[in-house]
Amino acid sequence: MKSKVFTKLLGLFVLLLAFNTVVMEIVFSRMVRTTAGDMLHLLARQALWSGLIALAVALPLAAWAARAISSRLDRVVAFARRIAEGDLSARLTPVGQDEISKMEAALNLTAERLGQSFAEIESRRQELAAMLDSMQEAVVAITPEGNVRWSNAVMQRIAGTQIRPGRPLVLSLRDPELLACIRAALDLREVRFGRASTLSPGRIFEINAAPLPSGGALAVLHDVTRIETAEKSRRDFIANVSHELRTPLTSIQGYVETLFEDPHPNPETTREFLGVILKNATRMNRLTEDLLALAGVESPDYKLILQPARASALVADAIESLGGLVVDSGVELESSGAPDAPVLADPDAMNQVFGNLIENALKYGKSGKRIRIGARQIDAEVEFTVQDFGPGIASEHLSRIFERFYRVDKARSRESGGTGLGLAIVKHIVLTHGGRVWAESELGSGASFHFTLPLAP
């Protein structure tokens, strides 16, 4: 708009110059008719006047034009300042086609491209943050000064409010091995591996700390608690099996050697020794059977053949198949009743469960002289119970007796042929049915074992 006015005024200035030329023309024509002295005098006066008039017009015009340009440049400076402050939405409004307008359009384009690039970088940053947050590993980035630069969600869950950007790492994560690994990555610029066991109670992490190309370091922590627990349980299992097999094997070997070395064996002693050998062989046989049964139910291929069965029928089956054994040992087997509600169960697996529980009740609770079996419906499941009235189990053992090889009294249990696998098998079968299993006991009053099965739909 202003540049248009400026153009008009320039036109006016040109008109004035033209007017001045006309005046000079008149003067020149008069010069022809006057004397040389007058002529020179007139010429000088006319030149002075026309110069003054041109100056009077040109000066304010130039001042106005300069002010117009400087105000436009001011707007460009203000625009540049907004961009520098991070406001990439700032835009100039170019007017006309002059050089300043072209520059303004170019600056607008630059600001627009800058905005697009920033938006792209921000979206990539968010994607990366989301990716790092969804990782199972804990990640922390450290500045060259040893402060927390950034940490992902897993790391924040482990360290809680202790870990914040800008906070010294030594105040945020206190595991000595982790700190040593990160220090080495920061100072020696080399990748370090380690194992953090004091970061979170009961959890073990593998550490991988590496220097960052831009300075600082990055530590990635991988939770290996489950792997280590599984590895430990595998080692314990092998040690337990070896131990359980070695005891009867050593006994068998000892008795067989004695029999071999005796050139004139006493038939009675021989019979006694053979009896011991048979007992130990039976024990080994039981152990291998239990191990095979446990391996079977724990195998990924283990499939239950679930079918609807009345709870009362399952209890009746158990009494029928195991009742004889109980009665033979002089213990009374009673039923406390069971509902007709149908549950989803694998009959063979249920036989195994009842068999183990009743066998235990006989083995450990025989002194109570009674075993009671029953079931009751609670909401959408049926709870089955096998109860004895023997010595019971001390409360500190109740949560552990379902572990493999766990026995309250190892010596007594071993004597009675127990290997500590029966309840582990029971637990696995019940859990695979979608049920729960637990034991209740009061020392001196007997023990009761409970498990639930979901109702058939």
Ligand X SMILES: Nc1ncnc2c1ncn2[C@@H]1O[C@H](COP(=O)(O)OP(=O)(O)OP(=O)(O)O)[C@@H](O)[C@H]1O
Is residue 407 near ligand X by the rule CB under 6 A? yes
Is residue 360 near Mg ion by the rule CB under 5 A? yes
Cα–Cα distance, 177 to 193 (Å, whole number) = 9
Name the residue with the smallest CB distance to Mg ion: 422
Is residue 152 near Mg ion by the rule CB under 5 A? no
Is residue 420 near Mg ion by the rule CB under 5 A? no
Is residue 331 near ligand X by the rule CB under 6 A? no
Window of 1-9, 60-68, 123-131, 385-393 that interacts with ligand X by CB under 6 A: 385-393
Window of 86-94, 203-211, 257-265, 387-395 that interacts with ligand X by CB under 6 A: 387-395
Q: Select the residue interacting with Mg ion from 422, 429, 430, 449 (CB under 5 A).
A: 422
Q: Pattern 282-321, binding to ligand X, x per CB under 6 A?
A: --------x-------------------------------
CA distances from 262 to 147, 189, 249, 259, 277 (A): 79, 74, 20, 5, 16
In sequence order, what are the residues at sequence separation of 6 or more whose Cβ sits closer than 8 angstroms to the Cβ of residue 36? none
The DSSP result for 198-255, as a single string, is SSSTT--EEEEEEE-TTSSEEEEEEE-HHHHHHHHHHHHHHHHHHHHHHHHHHHHHHH
Q: Is 338 helix (H, G, I), strand (E, B) or coil?
A: coil
Is residue 390 near Mg ion by the rule CB under 5 A? no
Residue 47 neighbours by CB distance under 10 Å? 14
Is residue 393 near ligand X by the rule CB under 6 A? yes
* 47 touches 31 (CB < 8 A): no
Is residue 448 near Mg ion by the rule CB under 5 A? no
Per partner kind, with CB cut-offs from 5 to 8 A, the member of ligand X, Mg ion, none near residue 428 is: none
Q: Least separation, in Å, of the C-beta of 326 and ligand X? A: 13
Nearer to ligand X, 205 or 402 (CB): 402
* 309 touches 339 (CB < 8 A): no
* 286 touches 421 (CB < 8 A): no
Is residue 368 near ligand X by the rule CB under 6 A? no
Rounded to 5°, the CA angle 449-455-457 comes to 165
Q: Select the residue interacting with ligand X from 173, 420, 429, 433 (CB under 6 A).
A: 420
Residues, the chain: 457
- Residues in contact with Mg ion by CB under 5 A are 360, 422
Question: In the complex, which residues of this chain contact ligand X (CB under 6 A)?
Answer: 290, 356, 360-361, 364-365, 388, 390, 393, 401, 406-409, 413, 418-424, 447
